[in-house]
Amino acid sequence: MKVTLFGSGYVGLVTAACLAEAGNDVVCVDVDQRKVEMLGRGEVPIHEPGLEPIVRRNLAAGRLTFTRDAALGVAHGVFQLIAVGTPPDEDGSADLRHVLAVARTIGEHMSEYKLVIVKSTVPVGTGDRVRTTLRSSLAHRGVVIEHDTVANPEFLKEGAAIADFMKPDRIVVGVDNERAAELMRALYEPFTRNHDRLLVMDVRSAELTKYAANAMLATRISFMNELANLAEEVGADIESVRHGIGSDPRIGYAFIYPGIGYGGSCFPKDVKALVRSAAEAGCGTAILEAVEEVNERQKRRLFAKIAAHFGDLAGRTIAVWGLAFKPNTDDMREAASRVLLESLWAAGASVRAYDPAAMPEARRIYGKRAGLELCLSAAGALEGADALAIVTDWPEFRSPDFRSIRLALREPVIFDGRNLYDPAQMAREGFRYHAVGRGLPGPRASNPPTELRPSADDRMRA
């Protein structure tokens, strides 16, 4: 099939690459000339495991093309996918300017039937606005051309996006007629052969489903973080509590890992946008507002622990392991690391930081800033540091050489925002260990039964 994608950001690029991998002829349109040239050489500007080989393979096969020529893109495919950004506006609502601009462009250039598919995360009612924009563009040209609009939100996890697309747990499709539904079934047929995972519904329900899914997951994270804070105050161990509630099949283990708050491009933006949409509809969102408030407070918790331990931080140096908002990505949008770094600098401290993937992104954000040294390794970040703060649970941080850490630090103290270690072991190793919601050092909670242990995809930490 011939497919056109507008937007070569995270969602657009993964979608384009995976559709091409399934044998489709895909053209990806973007306004950024530098990005188009980079992608045309097979250079992927984001860190996503497995993506670059797919891009290069399909470029070589001629199934994937990148261009700035919107007219060429519109002429190319019956399927016109919109995957441009919807950044939060000042009031928290989703900014739809780019989505509607693409709809306008499609209307200006189309000469035959098109199926316009909105993959961008958008508020309820956006499909109507896209349809109106298309009709207005066609009316301005004085032509009438058949078209349909579809809501097809993405459910890709950063760090596991290829597997999520190739083997989806569900594909949500919002349509208003059977023709559009059949075309969407044909497009996704290669990804649903073993089991039909296509969920067909009306457009508005599909739009709300995306926001509802992210808001539900964010709620679980904030709820667990609030329980972790309570556990600290009453002397309980949140890890034992987590095992206790996760073993209940009605709850499960996914997204109940306490930590220092969620970040990234989706949860913060989507919770804010859903709150704003509800306000516009005259509905209260007390739970969602609390979710957001708890998350913002939780991001400051690691700094509060550091400040409480040292008192005056002026002249102190803190080693920071992890800058990305979660492992297997270089994304630092809304990351807890940024709150910690900026709080440390404001208190007069310096930072020696390391991240396996996000160092270039940190350089882009902060440049050559005084008080920040980006180190080549986790061990290098420890040199001359007063303490270690763990922000992202990258696998390489899970089983370090504790003796080397203790010898490298000026003080044997670790502030663990991801609960990677056992407090009892840390005590034996001679560390003062500050985690999230961990009680006094004691026997480690027993592992959950094998059949109930969370999968790697489920182990997304707060």
* Catalytic residue set: 266
3-state secondary structure 143-161: CCCCEEEEECCCCCCCCCH
Residue 142 backbone dihedrals phi, psi, to 5 degrees: 75, 30
Residues 6 or more apart whose CB falls under 8 angstroms from that of 101 comprise 84
Distance between first and last Cα of the chain: 40
Whose tokens are 């950024």? That residue is 32
Question: CA–CA separation, 19 vs 80, rounded Å?
Answer: 13
* CA pseudo-torsion sign 378, 379, 380, 382: positive
Q: Are 202 and 193 in contact (CB under 8 A)?
A: no
Environment class of residue 315 by beta-carbon count within 10 Å: exposed (0-12), middle (13-18) or buried (19+)?
A: exposed
Q: Which run of H or E residues covers position 351?
A: strand 350-354
- The alpha carbon of residue 288 and the mean position of all alpha carbons in its chain are separated, in whole angstroms, by 18
Q: How many CB atoms lie within 10 A of CB 287?
A: 13
Burial class (CB in 10 A: 0-12, 13-18, 19+), 249: exposed
Specify the 3-state DSSP secondary structure of 175. Answer: coil
Rounded Cα–Cα distance for residues 338 and 299 (Å):
9
Running DSSP on this structure, what letter comes out for residue 323? Answer: -
